[in-house]
Amino acid sequence: MADVSTDVRERIEKLREEIEYHNYRYYVLDDPVISDAEFDLLMRELAELEARHPEYITPDSPTQRVGGKPAEGFATIVHNVPMMSLQNAYSFQELREFDERVRRLIRVDHVEYVCELKIDGLAISLEYRDGRFVRGATRGDGVTGEDVTHNLRTIRSIPMRLRTGERIRLDVRGEVYMIKSEFEKLNEERRKAGEPLFANPRNAAAGSLRQLDPRVTASRPLDIFLYAIGFSPDRRFETHMEALQYLKSAGFRVNPNIRLVPGIDEAIEYCEEWGRNRDTLDYEIDGVVIKVNDLRYQEMLGATAKSPRWAIAYKFEARQATTVVRDIKVQVGRTGALTPLAILDPVKLAGSVVSRATLHNEDFIRSKDIRIGDTVIIQKAGDVIPEVVSVVAAKRTGREREFVMPSRCPECGADVVRLEGEAVARCVGLKCPAQLREGILHFASRDAMDIEGMGPALVGQLLERGLVHDFSDIYKLTAEQIAGLERMGKKSAQNLIEAIDESRGRGLARLLYALGIRHVGENVARVLAEHFGSMDAIMNARYDELVSIPEIGPKIAESIVSFFAEEANRGVIKRLAESGVLMGRPQAPQEQVPQTLAGKTFVLTGALEGFTREEAEDLIRRMGGRVSGSVSRKTDYVVVGRDPGSKYDRARELGIPILSEEEFLKMAGKR
């Protein structure tokens, strides 16, 4: 008769192996081979067997990943090998000096380097004995760290056993992080619950991993990339790349963007590449780590008291900084929107000195509890527009003041109204000079009517002198009037008059965009111009006509109908037409272009060699195709240039045909 206990133990072991395999497929390879329901059945069977036979429960069982009682505090772990900090470099010259120093110390002409993205997370060490995960710790001071083993078990991409099957001792080093999209979801949940928000994904990851209750950590979307072997008495490697390949074979997640390069020039190219492309990733990086590949060379180079001599971290320019909110002022835009603006102590951020940051709207200020006098963390959104990320509440003194949105426009004194369902407060004054000033600047901007020379200083003078009251007055200006303004001589005045005259023929699409109709950007303006062909047809278009156009949704249609229902707006357009502004398509003769791309939707990504993005989009449209800004299942082709972004990855994911620039030109009949 079979031994029942042996059968149970073997079944438990079989289930554990199968579950770990499917965890590896799902969390490491991103390539599951069973459904979630099937996985849940395996976990349920294992949990039931362990509940009936608790004597067979082991620390590395998949059921032990989640749960456990909260700890009273973290114990201290001494690392088998110190987790040293890296020397930082902030310029390519410093990288070249590092390379010269390395080659001089080991007396060679050339050194191979491994380039790795520097993940902005929390450094940890994982210890395996007999091939099983036994404990994990934070970096701490480099010599000792906090024992966060129970929390690390909740990260499913960490293997409980080495997939190689080796019963060896091994310490591996990695970075725990949180992807940006999950970070936003977590902060939104905390906002709704009235809890303090995390400043950035790194803080969220660190705070989640250092929870005393592992169940809290298990509820947080943490992941990990492994980047080194710290201690391997039972396994020898010749190069760092060989060690990384071993980590992959053993079941660890290793970043896919690691690159072996023949020298420092190529390492610098890698730094430049990821400096440009860092925002295409769904996790934060703050630089690049460059390591000598040959482990014999690493041993020869050794380390200082703080840092290894064989590695260096090239740091990208900071996109976050700490400063103080000295005041909050309100700007009025061309649509009447009131935007609060933080006046800051000047601070260097991402290569420039920042003294102002947008606060978006009143709800944004309330949600982050931003007060005048607060110390705040700021960042550049998309590396361009500074914004406040969070308040450093610990630095409050009690002298901070709450901001109150004005009830009257600071520019004209008219009422400020915030409509139900909208986050933005608006000035309702029809004669508001701020709206007119911003509106004229937009009208004259490069992508609109492109009136060169009509900048903020000149527009301000035109309004102060009463020479311009609406867009149509621009076309009544004379050289004599302009020459009489400050810093405007006869030559400058004549140049501006010529630019104004030239702008009359820009055509319907650019005029529509220049009018500043809410929700009507360049693309929508182009679609309207192509569909209707004339300003009269658009002004008289019904709501149902507008929403029948694929690119026009209900909100855009309502905005267009409302704009042209205003007699004052119709009057401005009538006066523009009387001034000779073209109300239809440009009259220049167009070459007859075959409609080879008719009915096809294209998305462009990356830098094109033969022409600009605008020229490529224009070619597609003239040949009957459509251009979209995002990849979806309705996309027919994605045209890929140099250094493509996330649209390329999305196209591959959806199986959308991908064209090189050469293939696209052949399709268009240009090759």
Q: Residue 187, SS3?
A: helix
Distance between CA 87 and CA 98 in Å, rounded?
10
DSSP string of 13-68, one letter each residue? HHHHHHHHHHHIIIIISS--SS-HHHHHHHHHHHHHHHHH-GGG--TTSGGGSS--
DSSP string of 70-136, one letter each residue? PPSSPPEEE-SS--PPPPEE-SHHHHHHHHHHHHHHHT-S---EEEEEEE-SEEEEEEEETTEEEEE
Cα–Cα distances (Å) from 272 to 260, 267, 275, 607, in that order, read 16, 9, 5, 15
Q: With contact defined as beta carbons under 8 Å apart, do 470 and 572 qualify?
A: yes
Strands ordered across the beta sheet of 311-315: 88-89, 311-315, 285-292, 113-119, 259-261
Question: 215 is written with which tokens?
Answer: 């169940």
Q: What are phi and psi of 389, to 5 degrees?
A: -90, -50
Q: What are phi and psi of 140, to 5 degrees?
A: 60, -130
Distance between CA 168 and CA 554 in Å, rounded?
64
Q: Residue 457, SS3?
A: helix
Q: Is 118 a catalytic residue?
A: yes
Rounded to 5°, the CA angle 658-662-664 comes to: 55
Distance between CA 481 and CA 493 in Å, rounded?
8
Q: Residue 609, SS3?
A: coil
Enumerate residues 6+ apart whose C-beta is below 8 A from 499: 450, 451, 452, 453, 454
Distance between CA 552 and CA 527 in Å, rounded?
9
Q: With contact defined as beta carbons under 8 Å apart, do 346 and 325 qualify?
A: no
Distance between CA 159 and CA 66 in Å, rounded?
14
Distance between CA 510 and CA 503 in Å, rounded?
10
DSSP string of 469-538, one letter each residue? SSGGGGGG--HHHHHTSTT--HHHHHHHHHHHHHHTTS-HHHHHHHTT-TT--HHHHHHHHHHH-BHHHH
Q: What is the CA radius of gyration of the chain?
A: 31
Distance between CA 514 and CA 521 in Å, rounded?
9
In the block, tokens 């707006």 appear at 569
Give the CA count within 13 Å in the CB-facing half-sphere of 523.
Answer: 12
Q: Which of 118, 291, 368, 380 is catalytic?
A: 118
In the block, tokens 């209900």 appear at 554
Q: With contact defined as beta carbons under 8 Å apart, do 175 and 124 qualify?
A: yes
In the block, tokens 């991908």 appear at 658
Strands ordered across the beta sheet of 132-138: 132-138, 122-129, 170-178, 222-231
Enumerate residues 6+ apart whose C-beta is below 8 A from 20: 62, 159, 160, 161
Distance between CA 341 and CA 324 in Å, rounded?
13
DSSP string of 644-657, one letter each residue? --HHHHHHHHHT--
Distance between CA 438 and CA 335 in Å, rounded?
8
Q: What are the residue numbers of the active site?
A: 118
